[in-house]
Amino acid sequence: MKTLNLFRAALTAIVRNKMRSFLTMLGIIIGVASVVALVSLGAGAQSDIESQINSMGTNMVIIMPGSSDFGGIRGGRGTVKTLKLKDVDYLREEASNLTHVSAMIRLQEQVVAGNTNWNTSVSGVDPEYLSIRNWEVSAGRGFDRREVAARAKVAVLGQTVVEELFGNADPQGSRIRIRTVPFTVIGVLSSKGQNAMGQDEDDLILVPSTTALYRLSDGESIDAIMASSVSEEAIAEAEDEIGEILRVSHRLADGEDDDFSIRNQSELVSMATSVTGTLTILLAAVAGVSLLVGGIGIMNIMLVSVTERTREIGIRMALGARGIDILFQFLVEATVLSLLGGILGLLGGLGGAYLLGSAMDTSVLPNIFFMVAAVFFTSLVGIFFGFYPARKAANLNPIEALRYE
């Protein structure tokens, strides 16, 4: 029988039992739909994370204090306060692979403006910080070198802080109080939204590093140093250079461990990727199981169908159908059934992904390769699970099949 006729016969048989065909396909539909939806959403979420990390500046390098080691008991990162303001100066003067360097003092403070107050994070930084973070001042101005040197009591507010403390009013020139220290608001940052971890990036106040260190903190150690390398490719070189400079600055002997650690954004990206990679393997396993279950469903129904249509098979054989004709008829039917299920599942999955994506406000990234693979795989499932029933049909004895009631 010609291929076209085979497909027509298969479609006719499938359409003839609409409800049964649909229920048979349901296993495959649900399996493919859930996997396509989850993979599209997962890929979308991953690209969201990556673009957010990139928006923080891919050239960014963060230097954190090292861990303590008292008699073999090692504390976590940052348990010793090894970074000083002079380290920032050394790096600025000597590191040829760095364009910007900024100190970072992190504080969590109650901030008062007029009769309202708000608890927010206060970061002591240098003017270069905004360049490192690709951040801009949307109103007013940022502080300059002179103000840092003078430990000036000036502050730049994030959007969230402005809303909480001033509502719709223009905060420029207003006085705010951080702990007991009065500050003058000189600028407002542009909005950055949430970061990859869901934290509000706009809920902060930037003040000069020296002001934070000497007026709000212990005046000794800083929490981190942020820097940007000249290019993304130069990050590794820049990290080596930073290591050398800081070891000299900290007077570390050869063989002694670093008392600081250096991290960059690409590590964060690869970490996020490895998480989603694990997720993808899990999804593939779910897909495999659901396709297996769907395939067994197809085999089950095809076996019923072969028994039901024994007489039809007998008639076809009497009219001159060879065993292989019958085999192909049922094989094509099973394959079309599962392929149709795969395509319906694909469409359903995409629809579901876009629906969920718009509900959760994340991007959806359908993977063409994955979708083609899913549909291809479902047709393989059809061939695999359709083969046994089809062979059973092909091996029927025509005389007995014709007599079958």
- Nearest residue (CB) to another protein, 319 versus 368: 319
Q: Which of 144, 160, 312, 383 binds another protein (CB under 8 A)?
A: 312
> Hey, which residues between 376 and 405 contact another protein (CB under 8 A)?
398-399, 402
What 8-state DSSP symbol labels residue 250? T
Rg of the Cα trace of the chain?
Answer: 33
What 8-state DSSP symbol labels residue 128? T
- Nearest residue (CB) to another protein, 36 versus 321: 321
**Those residues with Cβ within 8 angstroms of residue 113's Cβ, 6 or more apart along the chain or in another chain:** 165, 166, 171, 174, 175, 176, 177
Shortest distance (Å) from residue 6 CB to another protein: 9
Amino acid type, 237: E
Verify binding: residue 316, another protein, rule CB under 8 A: yes
> Hey, which residues between 2 and 31 contact another protein (CB under 8 A)?
2, 5, 12, 16
> Hey, which residues between 289 and 308 contact another protein (CB under 8 A)?
none
- Nearest residue (CB) to another protein, 100 versus 309: 309
Outline where 109-166 has alpha helix (H).
129-132, 145-149, 159-166
Alpha-carbon distance values, 137 to 129, 134, 141, 178, 192 (Å): 12, 10, 6, 21, 11
What 8-state DSSP symbol labels residue 127? T
Q: Which of 197, 253, 281, 319 binds another protein (CB under 8 A)?
A: 319
Coil vs helix vs strand at 214:
helix
Shortest distance (Å) from residue 284 CB to another protein: 41
**Those residues with Cβ within 8 angstroms of residue 210's Cβ, 6 or more apart along the chain or in another chain:** 85, 124, 148, 149, 151
- Nearest residue (CB) to another protein, 206 versus 394: 394
Q: Which of 320, 361, 368, 369 binds another protein (CB under 8 A)?
A: 320
- Nearest residue (CB) to another protein, 77 versus 403: 403
CB 217 within 8 A of CB 124: yes
Shortest distance (Å) from residue 7 CB to another protein: 13
| Interacting residues toward another protein by CB under 8 A | 1-2, 5, 12, 16, 311-312, 314-325, 398-399, 402
